[in-house]
Structure 1
Amino acid sequence: MEPVYRTLEIAAHALVRAQGMRLSVRDEDKLPATGGVVLAVNHTAYVDFLAAALGVHRAGRRARYMIKSEMMDNPLVRFLITHTHTVPVDRSAGAEAYAQAVENLREGYVVGVYPEATISRSFELKEFKTGAVRMAADAGVPIVPVIVWGAQRQWSKGVPRDMGRSRIPVSVRFGDPLHVGADIDPVDETARLKTQMSELLDAVRADYGDHPAGAPWVPASMGGGAPTPEQAHEIEAAEAVRKAELRERRRAEQIRREKGRG
């Protein structure tokens, strides 16, 4: 029954009702009814995991995500992670998280993965990491691609947050399972996964409805105000430098404090 996960499901449905979110889920029957599955989700928002998880719930299953290990610093989040088979990922030492995710897949769980690793500011697909494909190959399970579109209007980078009752339409569509063998080339199979998700993304956008010109949540390729992939890359590179500098300042401050106590 998993009471903690069930409580989260109830809270998620309550949030959707409170927001008046117009959630559309299609082709959820493409998700296998049993057995391990790598759920490959595009990443455009801080809350796209919720829409994808609700899509998985409609298919009669539950999604377990891989998330940043920093989230474990929060006691409440740490409790939820521990009780929902979520996999915390330390990017500086990811082997343990990878092994845990593969074990979860072998035990029959649906494990949600963002192949892009981080949110795409352009709302186009970024370059994919090979982890999803390697995980599926090692566990002997299929990959099911999922596209979420519209969640970036709620809460994302470069877009005003709108988590109130805005009746924002959010689309979730599942793609055909991708089966990979143990002897595959991870780079080639990752390219195949990205192509499949790119085609699915185009189809979801075509069916979504209006994409107002200049809107910050609409890709530049569609006449929107979001940065182009090239511009987004420059923004992310500058952010990475700032974060590295901040980490270094914090590390230096910690060393000074430790010396002061000594």
Structure 2
Amino acid sequence: MKKTLLLISLPLFSLSCIAEETTQDMSDPLAVYTQAGFGITDKGINLKVGQTYDTGNADTAAMNIIELKGIGGELLNLRNLDDYPSVDDSIDSFRFRNFSANMKNGSGHQIDMSYDVETETLSSSYSIIQTLPKMGIFSFFPLAGAGVTIQNDQTGANGYSIPGTFALVGMYAKAQLTDKIWINYNPMYMSALSGSDNYKESAYGNGNSDILTHEFAISYQINPRSNIRYFANWNEYTDISKGDHRIEYNYQF
């Protein structure tokens, strides 16, 4: 049985039903726009909503995005539940991101918070992103940051604590194949920085103090306001066949 979700106080978050006149490039990792998304995954249904807000700086655009993941996984039954006993019909995790981009110099920063309901673990990080000059069909957006892990002692003895901190470096990469089709590959490397001996030795399970994760996506822009995307997520310890796979529809308001 999964535990109660950790609640995070967010700024006022309402989705405007009126479409903005100017659309943003939805293939750009630094694009900021009000949006909604719906995904079918092999672990359940994902829901996403994002809204821009005024930063008070004409050169900077920002948005909040919140996602609920893994709804109805047992009902959909797209996984072999004998191999994945954690898949059920409740929410697997939720994610909150606050993202800001500078339109003049192509830099950005984000706060990224993900809470795993099953393990009652919150991973929160801050990172900076920079756009590099485009090279033909390729665009690269390296990032670097640091984060903290907050976890509940499921024995009930100590409650929530901070087992440790971590560093992350990575990149968003894009290949624009046609006007409507593009591919992304987003590798991320995370490594334990400090904390308990157990965290420094096994922050990512089975004696692994670091991890390299992979995300691959291929996308098709249906029209200026909507696209459909296929994602695959895996890491160096999990084969792609046992990773996470999803098809996602996104709409820009």
Q: Tell me the TM-score normalised to structure 2 length.
A: 0.32
Q: Which has the higher contact order (CA 8 A, sep 6+)?
A: 1
Higher share of residues assigned strand? 2
Q: Tell me the TM-score normalised to structure 1 length.
A: 0.31
Higher share of residues assigned helix? 1
